[in-house]
Amino acid sequence: MRTWLLAAGLLVISGVASAQTPLSDRLKSIQSDPAALKSALDAGRKASSFCANCHGEEGVSKSVEIPNLAGQNPAFLLEQIRKFASGERKDAFMQGLIKILKDEERLQIALYYAGMSVPPSRADAAQAAKGKELFGKLCVRCHGDQARGNAEIPRIAGQKLSYLQTTLMRYRDGTGIRNYQLMAIATGSLKNEDITAIANFLTQLP
């Protein structure tokens, strides 16, 4: 009897642990299974249909003020989705849309957009050259040589010029819309023309 109860208890504990597995673990599991990944990508294309109005069908934004999602690290995208849902990132429109998504749909959308490619944009060559120098001093340690980031740091290569400028200014000016101490420190000494230069460098990266 005790053995049966112990076994049953272990099954319950196992079931709870399985149900509480973080989405990040689920993400890794899908990525390691080609069949599961293909299925998730197909589902992600469908689940992201309402995102396409702003972010584009393949994650390339239709507006200069809205970020590209194509090519972004899926773990980073998933974390931003979580932050919007919890209110850690402020945007009433995004928060309302994301709250109706199920966890599996959030995973699928993150994987789908991550699998898309983002085309580089045109930039002012002189500004980009200056921006490259500033990027090497202030940004490369976290964002990487190609500005493609990682699971915790966003890819900013190929991002929209205006979006990059606005975001950097928000960090620098402490508007409360974007809050991250390291970014506030990194951008604190930047002048508007410095931000323009960095944005020009980043937007033309593949």
Binding-site annotation: residue ranges: 51, 54-55, 94, 139, 142-143, 183
Task: Residue 145: name the closest of 205, 189, 66 by CA.
Answer: 205
Query: To which H or E segment does residue 93 belong?
Result: helix 92-98
Joined together, the tokens standing for residue 150 give 């990682």
Q: Which residues are annotated as a binding site for heme c?
A: 51, 54-55, 94, 139, 142-143, 183
CA dihedral defined by 57, 59, 62, 65, rounded to 10 degrees?
150
* 3-state class percentages of the chain: helix first, strand second, coil last, to nearest 5: 65, 0, 35
Contact criterion met (CB below 8 Å) for 154 and 76: yes
User: Concatenated DSSP letters for 151-162?
Assistant: SSS---TT--HH
